Structure 1
Amino acid sequence: MRTIQLLRRLLAALAGIALVGWLVVMQYDPARIATTIRMAVFDTYQQTAPRPYRDPAVSTGTGVMYVNIDRPSLERVGPWPWPRTRFADVTQKALSKGARVVVFETPFEWPDATSPREAVQEWLARPELDLDQIARLEEASSGLPDHDAVFAGAISGGPVVTAFALSDDANSLVPVRKTPVSARGGDLGPYIPVRKGMSPSLKSLEDAASGNGARTLSDGPAADNVIRQVPLLEQVSGTVVPGLSLEAIRVAEGARGILAIVAKPDADLTFGRRPGLQRIVVGQKEFPTDADGGLWLHYTRTQASRALPAWKLLGDHPDAERLKDAIVFVSASVEGPEAFVDSPLGTIPRVEPHLQAIEQMLLGHYLWRPDWALPAEQVFLLVAGVALLALLISYGTLWAALFTAIAVTGAVWAGWFAFTTKLWLVDPALPVIGLMAIFTLGAVMNLTRRNATEKFVRAQFTDRLAPKHISALVREPALAAPEGRFTPVTALSADVRGFHRVAEPFGPDASGLASLITNIHEPLTRCVLRHDGMVDRFVGGGMNALWNAPVAREGHTVQACQAALRMVAELEPVNRDLERDARRAHRPFIPVSMSIGIERGDAVVGNLGSGNVYDFSAIGGAVNEAQLLQRLSRRYGPAIIVGAEARDRVKDKFALLEIDQLRLDGRIDPWRVYALLGDPIMGANPKFRALHEAHEALFKAYRARDWAAARLVIAECRKLSGAIPTLYDLYEERIDRLEQSPPDKDWNGVHEIADLLAPAKSKVAIGKPEAADLGEAPV
């Protein structure tokens, strides 16, 4: 039992540690475990329910497209890399088609190698040229335009945004910032991501452009190179710079500045949002952001209508008219793997995250990880985890499994509902994993505890309870818990009458005497178990038994009486076997007869052994009184004596005769005791009814002090079938004493138990009572 209690405590301790440990993982994210799981969940949301594509041109008047320099464009226009003059043509064509702004997604970091000046410099480096050839080359190139200058001229001719790349490789370069970035509410510095270096476009191009933005993309909190966010603001070399998407919006709107609204509560504490950016204002538009200025992307499937092949633009194809009033990005998919990135929906062109971010800003569609999400997830895990732990400990694995299924289903549904209706990124996976870990740990511990419980229960009760009750104890081990509890029980005490006389012929034959006791105990035990009782303990040649403990049973007093009658019936084959064994061993045979006492009452049941030795038993008045009745049985004669409480429960179900009323310590009223002679069939027999009426007449005369009438009734009783000679001898002896020493005037027939327990002055039979010829059915 100590092992079972230890396993219960161990379950609580381990599950509590698992719960607290997982809450710590959710909060502090060691080894980015929580982030990896969380991002996988958010990616699954997007894969299952991507953003439905809506052309922002329809609702906002501003479209979003990109000119793609693809392989067909190279085949039709010319090989890669293209000269800057061709990019100038792309710029002028796009602006002429009505593009609101042209955005070059790739930085132009180095001078154009195909520009005449650069080509001459390449030739001048060759040692095999003579001075005349060098002079002719310089003269020929002096009249040709510089490609980068041509491109800069085209850029200056309209709203064009150039790009620069940020990196963590430190350098001292500073980007050309086309617009001021101001903050309201606090300093941006602590919240905006910091990069150590950059790779700008040519300064001539940046100077000519209307805007200049960082092309950086972000995998969000993860570090797996899956693009989930577009940073709208970043900082490098102490300067806050706009992201390419935000800069494109600013130039398209004609705004002159960028305003960042910062939330910085006192002492950096807040019950609303975390300290950091709340939103960014550009002209008349506002864009809510993450605390670090990032915009979560809610991807659509790749749309062919977003892309326009460059050859169509340069060839004045009718499809180029779609660029009107659009924010147009220029990108080259022919650059190979560098032109593509991974997204939750798969590999996409690198330019697409910028396009989709601008679409979301134009449409007002924002995916959001609320600041309350993590605390809500932790609170859910804490509450559900504690409830699950309580169920595991108190009600077992089945109810815990049902609760876990409901909690997991509810959490998953809540996360999905939040995403599909509110665009909230709430993660059910981490709480669910925590709950599943607690449940799995609890189920394993419960299984271990159940196995230990079953082993313990079977070790303690296999020979004391019927198998069905052992199974009930395995299911509810609390019934056999060591803590005492009050419950009504029916106690039975049985013993061999004159056991020392029965055992005397065995002399020093210890094995023979042990065999005798076993032969007596075996049928007694069988009778108890067959009638749903529990063998409490064996005492010499007898035993004590309990009903209604540890497993509750209706009608347990009836079952105890049935078991007692069966015990008396079982003595006949036992005596035949003992007689046969005695003849073989050439020793005297003394028949075995039983004294049985039965009483009902409240008792304390539980472990009445010690901390080291478990002994389930009961203590209480009923147990003591059953043992007392067993001792008194031999003085009255009948094998089975029943107390008043037990008799009141079974009086209509058995053949019972009142035989005495006694004064018992602790009882105010007299304690009536009854002889149990047979089953209901016997109780309905006319011969028993005649005996019952004679006994009533006997006690009426006896308690009225009419000694002469009492003697006459006793004489009549001796003539009836089923008479109890020992009982009548006892009452004749009492009448003689009472005639010699008349009782007090308030005497009402109550007898002192001490007198009964003293050595008998009259002849009292110790053997089995005379058989009653009442035509009773076999018990």
Structure 2
Amino acid sequence: MLRSPALLAGLLSVAIALLCGLERSGLEIRWVDALERASLDQRFRWRGPVPTTDEVVIVAIDNDTLERQPELYQRRAGTAALVRAIAAAGPAAIGIDQVYVDPEEVLSPELTARVKEHVLKDMPVGAGPEGQADSLLREVARELAGDGELAAAVAEAGSVVLAIHLTQDAGAGRPLPDPATLRHGRYGQQDARSPPFRVAEGGLVSLPELVAGARALGGITVEEDPDRAVRAIPAAWRVGDAAYAPLSVQLVAQREGLGRAELAFLESSLQIGGRKVPLGKGEAVLLNFRGGSGTFTTVSAVDVVEGRADAALRGKIVLLGVTYFGHDVVRTPFAIDLPGVELQATAVDTILAGDALTRSSALTDSLVTLASGLLVSLLFTSILRAGPLARIAGVLAVIGLDVAVAVTAFTRAHLWLALIWPLLAAVVAGAAALAAAYAGEALQRARLRRTFSHYLGAEVLDELLADPTALGLGGARRELTVLFSDIREFTSVAERLSPEDLVALLNTYLTPMTAEVMARAGYLDKYIGDAVMAVFGAPVARADHAERGLATALAMHAALARMRPALAERGAADLQIGVGINTGEMVVGNMGSADRFDYTVIGDAVNLASRLEGLTKTYGVFCLVGAGTRAAAPPSYAFREIDRVRVKGKGQPVAIFELLSGPAGAVASYAAMDRWSAALAAFRRGDLAIARAEWLAFQAENPDDPVVRLHLERLAGLGDQAPPDWDGVVVFTHK
């Protein structure tokens, strides 16, 4: 990890992105959630207040109302007069942000009943002259009729939406009345597959005579986040089997003349006529706050009843609510004491403007987080060769980019994109990579003085001096070509010879083979007994490393022919070798311990080259190459694709090719190659009868080819019908 700060940063980025996905999918990480919500509030403040639609007006029971005409709020008859005054101004809809749960109590309930009974029963109107006491009782009785007055005013207005408060806590409200009583609060349509998950166990509903006269009912329940702020309103409550709408939805419907049938609660959105309102997590409408207290046009209730606000109310959605100091306030991004009625106004205005916030998906947030961390990791790649100050500046730039992307998505697309997770990825990945880079560079400088003795070639030394990052443990990821060669049946050869003769034989064989590697700028990685491992393209970079590897294989084939007389003298006249070549991405550098290490290559591409060398025994050919080498080879080299195999240690199948010839000579040649290609294609698609016929025809032209003989033997055990899961891939479980 210390040798590769970029890799460390990348792995940390992946881990943080996965954690982000888990958290966004339901894993509770409270401090991240708290910071994310705080960052959303900050985005509101950075954006600043924005204009409203100017379609919502608040009639406020404010301090001026309580000083001049307190009966407008304190008495139902006064509220009735206020409702009539609002209705007379011609609004599009009236929403009352109050719940009138209990009858008005001017006198005690017992005394109220006695007065009403006496006046209405014992003293019917027109029964005769009244005394002073009876006249006074009639006046008192009129004062006791406030509930009826308010109910009549609501019914006369014809456009009033009354509030209901619903709660999942049965102890926080009262038992709900018969659902039929609340029918005006329902959505006309709802998705039967996903009913609202908020089940109302209780709540507060206005008096039946008020509910009967209202045009609709709407919920005003708010839910606070853990930091006590309100950022959304519940979109629906379930009472029985029905979904109930919030006050804001009902008011917009009344303004646009929509019936209940045109209100729909769907799985991820609300439908209000032609309007579609997206829902966030928890079936809530994420509010797009316009500003702090006083953002919406607000008139005092006193001005309304005195006729000074008619022009302001005409054609508007009017919300009647309390704003006097300290009553019914909530915390929002712009204020810590926003009157509750302004929260309802915000909800209405958000729906009218069609700019409700949407929360990005867990996948999107994870990808943004991963991108943030990977951008930081790129700063620590060897390609950039950036210094510490440049890297720190780069990390700060990525952080600035994260903020800019989140703010732009918020202001331009009303999208709540994760910000804390991307910032966390950038900071953690950057800090870890900076620490690793600093420690790694210090270790490289300490090792530099004792490293030279491990390298004998001038080219190796030159490259290491030019790029000291290759001196530490680990290495760089590069595309290279690896060659493995091995003597076939070496064990049987060794059994026939004395130890001294065996050593002489190996020296006779390995000396020309090594020379062919060195002649083509290959790096002799190691001898593994009788095997040779060579790398092309490192340590000195060569763009044509694949061609050099192929040329070396052809040269080895020619060298083996030239040394036959010398091998015969050593008792190995029939010695044969196999060569495996593969090109691909691998890690090259110093591998080992802190005290003893070798410059070598590792990776899947290296392992495949070794497996290809082993498969030359199975297929009976001189040289097998991988698809990467075949693709990188110049046109002057000829190949035959012989199979698709899944070698031991690899899950994905690979195509393997036999090297036939090149500019320096030929290894093998075959007639009727069109037959071979047709047979291989039929074998791949499962037409085994066709494959058998084509290979038999090919064998007739090439009777000594061991590969076609092997394929025909395989077909003999398969019949003419391929298995259902046939993919034409041969699996090898041995090395």
TM-score (norm 2): 0.54
State the SS of the aligned residue for 1:193: coil
- The one of 69, 72, 80 aligned to 2:64: 72
Corresponding position: 1:84 with 2:76: yes
Corresponding position: 1:198 with 2:203: yes
Residue 257 of structure 1 is matched in structure 2 by 260
Residue 148 of structure 1 is matched in structure 2 by 147
CA distance, structure 2, for counterparts of residue 97 and residue 85 of structure 1: 19
Residue 43 of structure 1 is matched in structure 2 by 41
Q: Match of 1:146, as an amino acid?
A: A
Residue 373 of structure 2 is matched in structure 1 by 385
| 1:536-592 Cα shifts (integer Å, max 9, x gaps) | xxxxxxxxxxxxxx999xxxxxxxxxxxxxxxxxxxxxxxxxxxxxxxxxxxxxxxx
Q: Match of 2:146, as an amino acid?
A: H
CA distance, structure 1, for counterparts of residue 476 and residue 323 of structure 2: 81
Corresponding position: 1:429 with 2:428: no
| 1:119-142 Cα shifts (integer Å, max 9, x gaps) | 647999xxxxxxxxx999988855
CA distance, structure 2, for counterparts of residue 8 and residue 184 of structure 1: 51
- The one of 187, 196, 204 aligned to 1:181: 187
CA distance, structure 1, for counterparts of residue 379 and residue 175 of structure 2: 62
Alignment check: 8 A CA contact 2:82 2:305 kept: yes
State the SS of the aligned residue for 1:206: helix
Alignment check: 8 A CA contact 1:19 1:438 kept: no
Alignment check: 8 A CA contact 1:183 1:262 kept: yes
CA distance, structure 2, for counterparts of residue 262 and residue 277 of structure 1: 8
Counterparts in 2 of 1:231-380, with a 5 A limit? 231-259=234-262, 276-282=267-273, 285-290=275-280, 293-301=283-291, 302-303=293-294, 306-316=297-307, 318-334=308-324, 336-346=325-335, 347-362=337-352, 364-369=353-358, 371=360, 373-380=361-368
CA distance, structure 2, for counterparts of residue 253 and residue 7 of structure 1: 60
1:177–1:475 distance in 2 versus 1, CA, 3 Å: farther
Residue 530 of structure 1 is matched in structure 2 by none
State the SS of the aligned residue for 1:325: coil
1:416–1:256 distance in 2 versus 1, CA, 3 Å: same
1:606–1:156 distance in 2 versus 1, CA, 3 Å: closer
1:403–1:42 distance in 2 versus 1, CA, 3 Å: same
Alpha-carbon deviation of 1:6?
A: 10
CA distance, structure 1, for counterparts of residue 289 and residue 8 of structure 2: 47
Alignment check: 8 A CA contact 1:312 1:320 kept: no
Counterparts in 2 of 1:501-540, with a 5 A limit? none
**Residues matched between the structures, number:** 459
- The one of 35, 51, 63 aligned to 1:53: 51
1:614–1:211 distance in 2 versus 1, CA, 3 Å: same
| 1:9-38 Cα shifts (integer Å, max 9, x gaps) | 877766654554444344444233443233
1:474–1:20 distance in 2 versus 1, CA, 3 Å: farther
State the SS of the aligned residue for 1:392: coil
Greater RCO structure (CA 8 Å; 6+ sep):
2
Alpha-carbon deviation of 1:211?
A: 1.4
Corresponding position: 1:112 with 2:104: yes
Q: Match of 1:208, as an amino acid?
A: G
Alignment check: 8 A CA contact 2:21 2:365 kept: no
CA distance, structure 1, for counterparts of residue 405 and residue 367 of structure 2: 14
1:474–1:111 distance in 2 versus 1, CA, 3 Å: farther
Corresponding position: 1:100 with 2:106: no
CA distance, structure 2, for counterparts of residue 179 and residue 166 of structure 1: 11
State the SS of the aligned residue for 2:358: coil
1:461–1:260 distance in 2 versus 1, CA, 3 Å: farther
1:122–1:82 distance in 2 versus 1, CA, 3 Å: farther
Alpha-carbon deviation of 1:294?
A: 2.9
Alpha-carbon deviation of 1:307?
A: 0.9
Alignment check: 8 A CA contact 2:13 2:370 kept: no
CA distance, structure 1, for counterparts of residue 298 and residue 474 of structure 2: 78
Sequence identity (%): 18
Counterparts in 2 of 1:720-739, with a 5 A limit? none
1:320–1:225 distance in 2 versus 1, CA, 3 Å: farther
Alignment check: 8 A CA contact 1:278 1:291 kept: no
For the pair shown, which has the larger CA radius of gyration, 1 or 2?
A: 1
State the SS of the aligned residue for 1:74: helix
CA distance, structure 2, for counterparts of residue 107 and residue 356 of structure 1: 20
- The one of 595, 601, 606 aligned to 1:613: 595
Counterparts in 2 of 1:550-699, with a 5 A limit? 611=593, 613-614=595-596
Q: Match of 2:198, as an amino acid?
A: P
Counterparts in 2 of 1:11-30, with a 5 A limit? 17-18=15-16, 20-30=18-28
State the SS of the aligned residue for 1:181: coil
Q: Match of 1:83, as an amino acid?
A: R
CA distance, structure 1, for counterparts of residue 257 and residue 476 of structure 2: 84
TM-score (norm 1): 0.51
Alpha-carbon deviation of 1:366?
A: 1.1
Q: Match of 1:378, as an amino acid?
A: S
| 1:213-262 Cα shifts (integer Å, max 9, x gaps) | 1112345xx43232222334222454311101111222333332144556
1:250–1:121 distance in 2 versus 1, CA, 3 Å: same
State the SS of the aligned residue for 2:309: helix
State the SS of the aligned residue for 1:201: coil
1:410–1:135 distance in 2 versus 1, CA, 3 Å: same
Alignment check: 8 A CA contact 1:179 1:256 kept: no
1:141–1:333 distance in 2 versus 1, CA, 3 Å: same
1:182–1:202 distance in 2 versus 1, CA, 3 Å: same
Residue 447 of structure 1 is matched in structure 2 by 438
Counterparts in 2 of 1:394-433, with a 5 A limit? 394=382, 398=388, 400-401=391-392, 403-433=394-424
1:168–1:96 distance in 2 versus 1, CA, 3 Å: same
1:257–1:12 distance in 2 versus 1, CA, 3 Å: closer
CA distance, structure 2, for counterparts of residue 150 and residue 607 of structure 1: 93
1:24–1:437 distance in 2 versus 1, CA, 3 Å: farther
Alpha-carbon deviation of 1:447?
A: 2.4
1:234–1:83 distance in 2 versus 1, CA, 3 Å: same
Structure 1 unaligned blocks of 5 or more: 57-62, 125-133, 264-275, 486-549, 553-604, 618-779
Q: Match of 1:349, as an amino acid?
A: P
Alignment check: 8 A CA contact 2:186 2:242 kept: no
Alpha-carbon deviation of 1:102?
A: 2.2
State the SS of the aligned residue for 2:442: helix
CA distance, structure 1, for counterparts of residue 30 and residue 221 of structure 2: 22
Structure 2 unaligned blocks of 5 or more: 117-132, 456-460, 478-538, 542-587, 600-735
Alpha-carbon deviation of 1:92?
A: 0.8
1:390–1:319 distance in 2 versus 1, CA, 3 Å: closer
